[in-house]
Structure 1
Amino acid sequence: MARIDLDLAHAYRPDPKEDADYALLPLKMSFEDGGAYALLGPSGCGKTTMLNIVSGLLRPSHGTVRFDGRDVTALTPQQRNIAQVFQFPVIYDTMTVAENLAFPLRNRGVPADRIKARVGRIAEMLELNGQLNQRAAGLSADAKQKISLGRGLVREDVSAVLFDEPLTVIDPHLKWQLRRKLKQIHQELKLTLVYVTHDQVEALTFADRIVVMTRGRAVQVGTAGELFERPSHRFVGHFIGSPGMNFLPAALEEGGGLSVAGQPVAGAVDAVTGAALSRAEPFALGIRPEYVELEDIGEGGASPARPGTITGTVAQVQDIGTYWLVTAQAGPHTLKARLSAHARPPAPGASIALRVLNPHTCFYGADEQLIAAATVAAAQEGLA
């Protein structure tokens, strides 16, 4: 196991006479020894490029890769002592499950009794112990990929185990089980694991810390709670969550008040947040659908009495099963609210008040970076 430090950038066309085609913009990042990390983002964001640079399959055009402080930028995957699991099974069909699992250990001259013990433990963890004597050729794609996972995990001396979307070929019914199993294996074996995925559920289930990437940049590194509660970039708010964060144009008014989606909002943000916003106009308010509160205000559509709210009209109500998803229009702006499955949602066309200013509210500048979170002041107004 190793601590991995990256200080690099990568361009597939690095010729300075041409426009560099950067797959990874300059970044500094560390993966702690024994940590479980996910690289999360859409296709083409640079996450597989980063993984291949860590493994040694790709040398960065700029900068260095260090394992436990040692510069390994020019070393091969074998010299770095890396195990890597790919999207599709990499196994020997002519071998049995046990022989496949043992192969990486036999290549390194591990004693036979130690091989048997280690193969048995990994097979039990992946629920392959009933198939150890079967040839891999006759197994399903799911079972073959579990063997690939086992081959990556079977060595005890690896610097890190890298996963490149390893559950692509797994039946959806089994994905949840395997994600949980990988989490359990990490807790037991304490290996350094780095997992590439575009699926936020996989990332949030598996990893202790998630690196959210877009357009060659790592825009936030944090726990699942940090990414959900305080996205440091609008992309994170949009990408994490189902549905993603609502964003509405906002502006400061005299006295510390706000207008949101063109409507004045009763209540004020605290002095610190207000000062940050005053230096950053224009800006946008962001709030997750889970934290938008609704109140039916009747056909008259009178101004909402509660602080922190704007008015809108219900455009659509969807029964998702575990929750209601309400889509509302506030002038030309659309926002969504998630209600409990036991709630009574408003009817389409109803006039409603939407509470958008509360302690979960975030504000973002024109550069899409988080300016401040709304530690909302004035407890007497019921906002905190």
Structure 2
Amino acid sequence: MARITLDHLAHAYKPNPQAPQDYALKEINHVWSQGGAYALLGPSGCGKTTLLNIISGLVRPTRGRILFDDRDVTDLPTEARNIAQVFQFPVVYDTMTVRENLAFPLKNRHVPRDKTAQRVEEIARLLDLTSVLNRKASNLTADMKQKISLGRGLVRPDVAAILFDEPLTVIDPHLKWQLRSTLKEIHRALDITMIYVTHDQTEALTFADKVVVMHDGAVVQTGTPDELFERPAHTFVGHFIGSPGMNILPCRVEGATAYLGNESVALQRGYRSLPGTDRIELGIRPEFVRLQPKGTGLPVRIRRIDDIGRARIARVEMNGRVLAASVPENLSVSGDEAGLHLDPHHIHIYADGHLVAGEALGGHAT
């Protein structure tokens, strides 16, 4: 088990990188605490697998260092880092039984037979593999084989960290929730640092205590699931986290008032000056935008209303922009014209994509 430190880490696949756009992974300084459950979340091509491969030793960074506790492992090969890695597709020995597969990492390290058997039984029970321990892996489904891969990664109690690279890709959807919950339970039981790469926000938010959101090779925010939802530090985070994502609207801000076209919205904070001049935007999640009868609130035109089971979401147009709003249970809408109410407590202001801290109207910075 280890604390993992990324010290001025950056990586480029092309030779002689000069500008930021030359880097697949832009400079990152970060510390993962020992025993934490972390997720690297972002779309394909954002740099998360590159970062995971640097941690595991499969890729050497162009610059910077990686430390396990206080030990510099930047130049050490994978086998010298004492980590376990679970890949996107199953890695098992088909000619072995499930029991032999799970025991293999311990056998290679000459762990006594009795301790190996005890550990294999423990992991098999956690992953619901007990009933197939004596079956050959070749006769099992892809789902079961991936559970064996997970078990092989989890079976060693002495690893510095376990790295998961989108491990539930081949798992049937109805089993994914169960396995995510199982991994969380295993993490609590084993107290091992776990880093989980995914492009699926549900997987990341279910599994991780802290989520690292990546975009275009850079880390744009690290926080708890609640922090990412309640206070996105970047418009990408607001858009990527949540379903539907945050509404992002171009605006003009003067003091404690935002202007959306000709309509004004009162803010809970004041903004004396805003950094950057290219783009000022207002962000608010659909949960905090309420559809109202025509003639009240901001005027909008309804495109459609979707019933998503737990709620109704209206897709509306305002000043040529489409946004999402929640529809109260008791609201009856006739025609396509309506109004919107934006909860001022949940409005965020962004300059060039980055969250701006305003001043509370009482004068305290927030």
TM-score (norm 2): 0.93
Aligned structure 1 segments of 4 or more residues deviating by more than 6 angstroms:
17-20
Q: How many residues align?
A: 361
CA contact (8 A) 2:268 2:344 kept: no
**Structure-2 residue corresponding to 1:336:** 324
Gaps of 5+ in 2: none
TM-score (norm 1): 0.89
1:360 to 318, 322, 346: 346
**Structure-1 residue corresponding to 2:16:** 15
Inter-CA distance 362–240: structure 2 relative to 1 (3 Å threshold): same
Asked if 1:287 is matched to 2:290, the reply is no
CA contact (8 A) 1:317 1:345 kept: no
What secondary structure sits across from 1:227 in the alignment?
A: helix
CA distance in 1, matches of 2:337, 2:362: 31
1:167-211, Cα deviation, whole Å (9 max, x unpaired): 000001100100010011001111100000000000000000000
Q: Which amino acid aligns with 2:338?
A: S
Q: Which amino acid aligns with 2:262?
A: G
Inter-CA distance 242–293: structure 2 relative to 1 (3 Å threshold): same
Inter-CA distance 345–235: structure 2 relative to 1 (3 Å threshold): farther
**Structure-2 residue corresponding to 1:218:** 219
Q: Which amino acid aligns with 2:258?
A: L
1:318 to 306, 311, 326: 306
CA distance in 2, matches of 1:49, 1:228: 26
CA distance in 1, matches of 2:185, 2:18: 50
| Alpha-carbon offset, residue 98 of structure 1 | 0.6
Q: Which amino acid aligns with 1:369?
A: H
Map 1:209-358 → 2, pairs under 5 A = 209-253=210-254, 256-265=256-265, 267-270=266-269, 273-277=270-274, 282-297=279-294, 301=295, 304=296, 309-339=297-327, 342-344=329-331, 346-347=333-334, 349-352=336-339, 354-358=340-344
Gaps of 5+ in 1: 379-384
What secondary structure sits across from 1:329 in the alignment?
A: strand
**Structure-1 residue corresponding to 2:73:** 72
| Alpha-carbon offset, residue 18 of structure 1 | 9.7
Report % sequence identity: 54
Q: Which amino acid aligns with 1:117?
A: Q
| Alpha-carbon offset, residue 261 of structure 1 | 3.6
CA distance in 2, matches of 1:344, 1:377: 35
| Alpha-carbon offset, residue 256 of structure 1 | 3.6
| Alpha-carbon offset, residue 334 of structure 1 | 1.4
What secondary structure sits across from 1:359 in the alignment?
A: helix
Q: Which amino acid aligns with 2:315?
A: T
CA contact (8 A) 2:267 2:347 kept: no
| Alpha-carbon offset, residue 376 of structure 1 | 7.0
**Cα RMSD, aligned residues only:** 2.1
CA distance in 2, matches of 1:18, 1:269: 39
**Structure-2 residue corresponding to 1:381:** none
